[in-house]
């Protein structure tokens, strides 16, 4: 049975804010994700640039869907909102990777993804523009990861909640996010409510 779509956000009112996701997803560095099935722990660092570009191509397809701007439920992001988030993840992680490569043990500023989604009105952005921006951001971070030298893989950085990464684990943690969100929107398209890590 098809899901009922929530098209209220297309008309302009501020959409319902999904329940904040406060889970610590760093466990994906140790084992396969039971939801999307992706095993970041087995990904070689060298594969991250190509995986990023492959993922971006699939988002272009998602943003071309007829339901790209529709929420499957009031508290579940639309494919467009997920794509905006992924675009911004690409940008943010590129900035953080740059910090790790230049600064000694940087501490990353906190990023409130829910506040960003609301303040930037992800729900009202243009799917075609987001598609271009997402691919561009993917290309940038793909080049950044490809340029990392073997002697830089153990450089460290720390998130505002205390989670600590090396460049190697940072890359693996990063690539799970867009892969998982692609699973989210495909699950929605298969009449299954998506999640939002």
Domain ranges in the chain are 43-189
Classify domain 43-189 at the CATH superfamily level: dinb family like domain (1.20.120.450)
Contact 97, 145 (CB under 8 A): yes
- Place 12 in a pLDDT band, splitting at 50, 70 and 90: low
**pLDDT tens, residue by residue, 149-191:** 999 999 999 999 999 999 999 999 999 999 999 999 987 544 4
Structure tokens at 81: 């909102």
The answer on pLDDT for 20 being more than 80 is: no
Cα–Cα distances (Å) from 163 to 25, 27, 29, 75, 171, in that order, read 10, 11, 12, 28, 14
- What confidence score (pLDDT) does residue 25 get? 74
Structure tokens at 27: 């466990």
∠ Cα 102 96 87 (to 5°): 140
- What confidence score (pLDDT) does residue 11 get? 47
- What confidence score (pLDDT) does residue 191 get? 40
**pLDDT tens, residue by residue, 54-84:** 999 999 999 999 999 999 999 899 999 999 9
The answer on pLDDT for 33 being more than 70 is: yes
Candidates 89, 90, 78; CA nearest to 121 is 78
**pLDDT tens, residue by residue, 76-120:** 999 999 999 999 999 999 999 999 999 999 999 999 999 999 999
**pLDDT tens, residue by residue, 84-94:** 999 999 999 99
φ and ψ of 135, to 5 deg = -65, -40
The answer on pLDDT for 2 being more than 50 is: no
The answer on pLDDT for 41 being more than 50 is: yes
The answer on pLDDT for 125 being more than 70 is: yes
Mean pLDDT of 132-138: 98
In 10 A of CB 38, how many CB atoms? 19
Candidates 116, 134, 119; CA nearest to 68 is 134
Percentage of residues of the chain with pLDDT beyond 70: 84
**Residue length of the chain:** 197
């Amino acid at each position: 049975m098809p899901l009922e779509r929530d098209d209220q956000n297309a008309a302009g009112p501020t959409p319902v804010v999904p329940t904040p996701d406060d889970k610590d997803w760093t466990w994906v560095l140790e084992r396969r994700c039971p939801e999307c099935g992706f095993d970041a722990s087995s990904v070689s660092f060298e594969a991250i640039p190509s995986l990023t570009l492959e993922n971006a191509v699939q988002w272009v397809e998602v943003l071309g869907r007829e339901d790209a701007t529709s929420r499957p439920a009031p508290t579940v992001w639309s494919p467009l909102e997920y794509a905006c988030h992924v675009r911004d993840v690409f940008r943010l992680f590129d900035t953080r990777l740059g910090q790790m490569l230049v600064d000694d043990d940087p501490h990353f500023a906190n990023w409130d993804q829910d506040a960003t989604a609301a303040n930037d009105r992800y729900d009202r952005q243009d799917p075609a523009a987001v598609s271009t921006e997402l691919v561009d951001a993917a290309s940038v971070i793909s080049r950044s990861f490809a340029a990392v030298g073997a002697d830089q893989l153990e450089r460290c950085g720390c998130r505002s909640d205390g989670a600590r990464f090396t460049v190697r684990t940072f890359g693996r943690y990063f690539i799970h996010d867009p892969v998982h969100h692609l699973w989210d929107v495909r699950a929605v398209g298969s009449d299954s409510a998506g999640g939002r890590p």
